[in-house]
Structure 1
């Protein structure tokens, strides 16, 4: 069996013109064990990165860009990138790292040393809410976990429109620069996963299903979800005064609570392969109806 923790031979910048190699330096990424790693059965390689003068001196780089990239020590390498939907899949990989360890890793550039367009700047990067005491140091075991989550997220997007949208909304929430935008996307993600197939009391359904789903492992209660859903309703229906003098920290604290809840939801969904139930929406409904019936008292 192939060991995914592999030593990958040093990749050079001289490759066939028919093959497009993409290098995406990682920022805010600390690899404690300093291991190189093959994600998705070798399609995406985590490898040491050394910026090359011939690239950083391109007109597309500003002095700030050169300073920023000088701090990058690791990058994701993709060979034959034209064969894959690599831009989309790398975003899913970053989500997987976030879910595995609340990792702050993000990319700002795509370097293509042997392609016509040698540099692409990414303006839409992952955002962060507020600091907490969770470690962002990635260990070897975290890479294993991230790879497993990565594969399951790709699978999850293919199961149904609900699961596809949930992953999309999670991505958009992480990339939203405003607290309100991120908050609404997180709530849309919850509704994609937990709403009923038939019309009904949406607030009660979402709050009950989320709480009973998370209670055993995380101790989540109905009353933990209800204030978040109430704020969602006020924002959507215009009954929340956005110009009121609420300290910014209050909104960020609410967003952080919802963000942590979403990480718990996705971790449990993927650990238990709950997303596979969405291939048959009747089975999905049966699962949540039974869960709500047996644990509604919690």
Structure 2
């Protein structure tokens, strides 16, 4: 009997403060129409003063535990994907571990920017299938509002804060593409493209820095690389684009989402879209979209999902899973 990492619970959390596009019109040469036309974003959530990434992550984790009917003591490990941890160290994951009252197992952060959740999911799957953990809580959480340059209209209108989480559990399977659970993964990075998307500060440069992005260049790489990584991951599972029930993409920009779906030959009706409500929440966007997609009644047990993301690094990848 082969074992698979099966999703047994999912949840999310969004900060209370909702920021519509119109709020940016007061301080920037921009408009609701301009932002919507270029990104598909209508509003996003910003964390409150003093509200940290680990706060958002803990709330999403509690929602996922409730959805799974599990308690913290049932979890063996926590992997938290984030680029905006509370402190330089320790990891935000260990803070969540403490907040959940989990005194066993292990917790660590993964940093692959917007691709972080795909990388975290792949790592969680590897831990499970290699027998190092039976249940892993995988979280994506970000407070990107803390690294925005509020004078740069090309970037600050695109990002939001939030968190999503899911729980993977080892379950027996037949070892076929019809199994529930993670069927395949594909991870990639190419550090030559650092200057396309980065933060111009950090610990060893002794500043926090702000996000910098060459939007047109990122867009050009995104559609091609996202479609390719999705198809590669599907190929590893012995599946094709035609088998996909839902694309649950990183929610960066509606035009990237549309372009990727078109390149994969899938209609937008097969894509879970949340970018209009959340903006780009980086590593949080995929688990947020999975949780919202389940809440909406879109994602159902047995559905084949491909989830893909690209972020700074450049780092990109895809995971194929049956819900």
Greater share of helix = 1
- Which structure has the highest strand share of the two? 2
Give the structure-1-normalised TM-score.
0.29
